[in-house]
Amino acid sequence: MPEHELALSIHKAGSIAAIEVEREQALKFLKKEDIQLPDVAKGWYLINYHGQSLGWVKALGNRVNNYLPKGWRIRMDITDEQQA
């Protein structure tokens, strides 16, 4: 399993597969909720939002495992109303 700190490093190799996600999926990832990544081959991927790496997922075909460290997850309710 890749280390979470590698996902955040500016020195990571460009050969690491990454998936750019929209805001809603990025927030779900950061809350350790299930995210859907259709048509993704099995393997390890970085989840990126606006080019910034957030962490690792492992695609297993029918689901995606989120490897964000449990202590790093967002626990508060984040809604669009709070962003305005």
**β-pair partners for 43:** 59
Instruction: State both tokens at 71.
Output: 């202590």
Rank 7-11, 61-65, 79-83 by mean pLDDT and report only the highest: 61-65
Residue 27 included in any domain: yes
Whether 58 is in a domain gets the answer yes
Q: Containing domain of residue 65, as a range? A: 4-74
Residue 82 inside a domain? The answer is no
Count the neighbouring beta carbons within 10 Å of the beta carbon of residue 12.
Answer: 15
Say which CATH number the domain at 16 has.
3.10.450.720
Give the pTM.
0.76
**pLDDT at site 84:** 47
Percentage of residues in the chain having pLDDT higher than 90: 40
Instruction: Identify which has the larger pLDDT, 2 or 55.
Output: 55
* Residue 36 located in a structural domain: yes
Tell me, yes or no, whether 83 lies in a domain.
no
80 belongs to a structural domain: no
Domain count, the chain: 1
- What are 1-39's pLDDT values in tens digits? 665 555 555 556 567 888 999 999 999 999 999 898 888
Please count the helices (runs of H) and the strands (runs of E) in the chain: 3, 4
Helix (H, G, I), strand (E, B) or coil at 19: strand
Query: Is 41 inside any structural domain?
Result: yes
Q: What is the DSSP letter of 58?
A: E
The residue assigned the tokens 């350790």 is 32
In a domain, 44, yes or no: yes
Asked if residue 71 has pLDDT above 60, the reply is yes
